[in-house]
Amino acid sequence: MAGYNVTIGIEVHCHLSTQAKMFCRCGTDYIGKEPNSLTCPVCLGIPGSLPVLNRKVLELALKAALALDCDILPRVVFHRKNYFYPDLPKGYQISQYDFPIGVNGIIRYEVGGLIREIRIKRVHTEEDAGKLVHQGEGFRFAQSGVDYNRSGIPLVEIVTEPDLTSPEEARECLMMLRTIVRYLEVSDGNMEEGSLRCDANISLSNTPGEMGVKVEVKNMNSFRSVYRALQFEVERQSSILRSNRPVIQETRHWDEMKNVTVAARGKEEAEDYRYFPDPDLLPMNISDALLTEIRASLTEMPLHRKERFMNDYELTGNEAEILVTNKNLADFFEECLKDFRKPRLVCNWVLTEILRYLNEEGQEINQSKLTPRMLAELLRLLEKKEISGTIAKNVLEDMFLTGSGPREIIARKGISFISNEKELEKIVREMIEKNPQSVADYLSGKEKAFNFLVGAVMKATRGQASPELVKTVLARELQAGG
């Protein structure tokens, strides 16, 4: 690997979080739906059907472009990108060509504790294609079908300049990009479900600042596969160069099972798309009013938020990173601080107990019944030593399950506010001393005397002890005394 300069650029496609598709009213929530149940003449490309742009697509793409510091082009023009493929019923894809939404942007991200910048070449929108589904095994039995549910789902495509110099940087940059689109609520960025997809181009050269022959790698569907595919390419191309052979300019696919990249068949490289403006969609101007409105809706970017968490709340880089990478978790944390301003304690609970529970249940914090206010109240009880840490954890679990507040749960469960058994023992002994007659009655077999003593202890603790615990301790002390 040593000796070669590695140059990497990435291209990321994100499904935009719209309810309807890009040019029709069909729904976009296609995961788990019956194939071809979310289709209409427009997204099936039936002749005579006319596309109508979903305004939300433009707004979300503008939001992404603005957040990435792009220059916004004043005019939106859609082009037809012509190619033939079974998952593309129209024979062309509606995309943007020489007028993308934004150009010349920047992504700031962190790698090995250092902040890096990578330039963005362009941000544009396009519609997604359908999906081929293969069934059966062997050539004779295999069947292929096409599911057009995904056809026409709006995408934002973010293309970077080749500024990355290692597979690790590519992975970190992609992770930051996903965090950013999630922050903006522009896309759910879910790679497993295919709503965020990444292609990369990579070249190696002997001369610093000079690029070698570019190879494009496609079909990477996780951060891990992006990293491993690029690492594989670095090694493959290095060994070709070392033996003085030429690297071939080509498109390669990442084979997740075999851990190798393989050359794509020739036709997939033929990129003569014959772009021309779509005659069904009129060019549009982007108004200053719209830009001002979208600019105002931008949220704090993750890297900035991380620095603020470290400065304002004295969190470590690692703690801040975990919180900030998940916007909902970071929002929850800050919301909780409004009611209980102890960042260190709140952070500890969020990163240990709460994350553990969420991971076990496969939940997101905003899907759970736990509210920031409930956690604040629980931590206040804990801080005033009204409940022990063990009981607090127990109550927390109950809050997740029932959505009740901590005091309500404590009352319902009869959980002791006096959780310290030693303290309870002292009170029990006092009551035994104060009621010798009842003790004698109990020891001579009168059950009612026991209940009387339980009542006396409960009264002495002003109802703040668990009746179960009182019974246990009382029985034990009576045995010991008798």
**Residue given tokens 């990129």 in the structure block:** 271
Q: In Å, how far are 35, 45, 298 from 130, measured between CA atoms?
A: 10, 11, 32
Helix, strand or coil, per DSSP, at residue 268: helix
Nearer to Zn ion, 40 or 77 (CB): 40
Q: What's the min distance (Å) between Cβ of 291 and Zn ion?
A: 29
Q: What's the min distance (Å) between Cβ of 42 and Zn ion?
A: 5
State the Cα–Cα distance between residues 430 and 460, nearest whole angstrom: 10
Q: What's the min distance (Å) between Cβ of 379 and Zn ion?
A: 49
Burial 360-392 (b: 16+ CB within 10 A, else e): eeeeebeebebbbebbbbbbebbeeebbbeebb
Q: What's the min distance (Å) between Cβ of 280 and Zn ion?
A: 14
* Gap between the terminal Cα atoms of the chain: 81
State the Cα–Cα distance between residues 116 and 170, nearest whole angstrom: 11
Q: What's the min distance (Å) between Cβ of 130 and Zn ion?
A: 11
Q: What is the dihedral of CA 265, 268, 269, 273, to 10 degrees?
A: 160
Nearer to Zn ion, 49 or 299 (CB): 49
State the Cα–Cα distance between residues 375 and 123, nearest whole angstrom: 41
Nearer to Zn ion, 30 or 349 (CB): 30
Q: What's the min distance (Å) between Cβ of 34 and Zn ion?
A: 15
Nearer to Zn ion, 27 or 194 (CB): 27
Helix, strand or coil, per DSSP, at residue 387: coil
Q: What's the min distance (Å) between Cβ of 153 and Zn ion?
A: 10
Q: What's the min distance (Å) between Cβ of 83 and Zn ion?
A: 21
Nearer to Zn ion, 195 or 261 (CB): 195
Q: What's the min distance (Å) between Cβ of 329 and Zn ion?
A: 35
Nearer to Zn ion, 42 or 174 (CB): 42
Binding site for Zn ion (CB under 5 A): 24, 26, 40, 42-43
Helix, strand or coil, per DSSP, at residue 33: coil
Q: What's the min distance (Å) between Cβ of 41 and Zn ion?
A: 7
Contacts 24+ apart (CB under 8 A), 175-180: 175/109, 175/223, 175/325, 176/107, 176/108, 176/109, 176/110, 176/302, 176/303, 177/12, 177/107, 177/109, 179/302, 179/324, 179/325, 179/327, 180/64, 180/67, 180/68, 180/107, 180/301, 180/302
**CB neighbour class for 482 (10 Å; exposed up to 12, middle 13-18, buried from 19):** exposed
**Residue given tokens 């023009």 in the structure block:** 77
Nearer to Zn ion, 24 or 67 (CB): 24
Opening angle at CA 37, ends 31 and 43, nearest 5: 95
Nearer to Zn ion, 39 or 461 (CB): 39
DSSP 267: G
Nearer to Zn ion, 128 or 199 (CB): 128
Nearer to Zn ion, 37 or 297 (CB): 37
State the Cα–Cα distance between residues 203 and 247, nearest whole angstrom: 9
Q: What's the min distance (Å) between Cβ of 196 and Zn ion?
A: 22
Nearer to Zn ion, 42 or 191 (CB): 42
Nearer to Zn ion, 26 or 418 (CB): 26
Q: What's the min distance (Å) between Cβ of 197 and Zn ion?
A: 21
Residue type for 25, please? R
